[in-house]
A and B are shown apart, each in its own frame.
Chain A
Amino acid sequence: MKPFTYERAASPAGAASAAARRPDARFIAGGTNLLDLMKLQIETPAHLIDVNDLGLDKIEPTPEGGLRIGALVRNTDLAADARVRRDYAVLSRALLSGASGQLRNRATTAGNLL
């Protein structure tokens, strides 16, 4: 792995502007994908911006009758949410078919979209 610097972002816009200032930076969420790629030197970011402290870890109902899922909600928590299991069973089933229990405990909604 190549050496890199690290910061914990304090707000979503702060994270985005820190990343825009440094094209050699990457966001890190659960790290389950990015760290593997860094160990193999497929990804060689010089700077990591940790997005785990942004308060984006909630699942909330929307006024339209849907659900807003924070980017940092873990796969395990999303799959187990009672509203997801009842109303969006395809999502719960898809999540549980992926990776392993340990990985799903770390993997995030945003990370799994990419």
Chain B
Amino acid sequence: MACNKRRPGSGCSALGGYSRQLAVVGGSDACIATHPSDMAVAMRVLDATVEAVKPQGATRTIPIADFHRLPGDTPEIETVLEPGELIASVTLPKPAGGMQHYRKVRDRASYAFALVSVAAIIQPDGSGRVALGGVAPKPWRREDAEAEFSRGAKAVMAKLLAGAKPTEENKFKVPLAERALAAVLAEPRG
């Protein structure tokens, strides 16, 4: 099977092939794989940092926003970790408060990866943060979209998914993400 991530340069059988599960934003002509982790989407909305140890023993702190790379033309390089670098820990900043939601939409209710997932923290005044899973090669968050919370889910998603390039098979993810966020916003705030 052609896969630029697993065998660089071999091509991509998902582009123009079976792509229901794959990315609608942030992908490239080389790769439209999604990042599959649910945990990482929550870590992104919580502004976690990743602590890594280098071979000589030096440590560094990487904000989660910078940890995963977009595929560009080197989809085989998925993170900014250097060869040999070990993850030692992940740190959460002090609690953000608010109502904290994780809404995962999938083809089967258990034991399945997300088609779309929404990690959101909604404050009593209606302001919020949101990151998406299942739509991009990394947990997908754009802080500028969060200024739109007062205008509702449609306005937030218009910014968050701006530039989306879905395939015929996965274009349903764009309205699905919007409705998943609308469902979260319909929940009580306190």
Contact = CB atoms under 8 A, between A and B. Distances in A.
Nearest to B7: A42
A15 B83 CA distance: 12
Nearest to A37: B6
B88 A70 contact: yes
A12 B43 CA distance: 23
Interface in B71-117: 78-79, 83-95, 100-102, 104, 110-111, 114, 117
Given A90-B102, A100-B111, A112-B37, A20 B55 contact: yes
Contacts of A66: 91-95
Contact of B119 (A23, A68, A94, A99): A94
B10 to A, nearest CB: 12
A87 B96 CA distance: 8
Interface residues of A, number: 43
A51 interface: yes
Given A13-B57, A16-B53, A93 B91 contact: no
B40 interface: yes
B91 A69 contact: yes
Contacts of B53: 12-13, 15-16
B34 to A, nearest CB: 14
B88 A64 contact: no
B42 interface: yes
Given A71-B90, A100-B111, 14 more contacts: A12-B53, A16-B86, A19-B55, A56-B88, A78-B39, A88-B42, A88-B100, A90-B101, A91-B43, A91-B46, A93-B42, A93-B102, A109-B90, A113-B87
Interface of A: 12-13, 15-21, 23, 27, 42, 51, 54, 56, 62, 64-71, 75, 78, 87-91, 93-95, 97-100, 109-110, 112-114
5 contacts: A12-B86, A16-B86, A17-B57, A90-B121, A94-B41
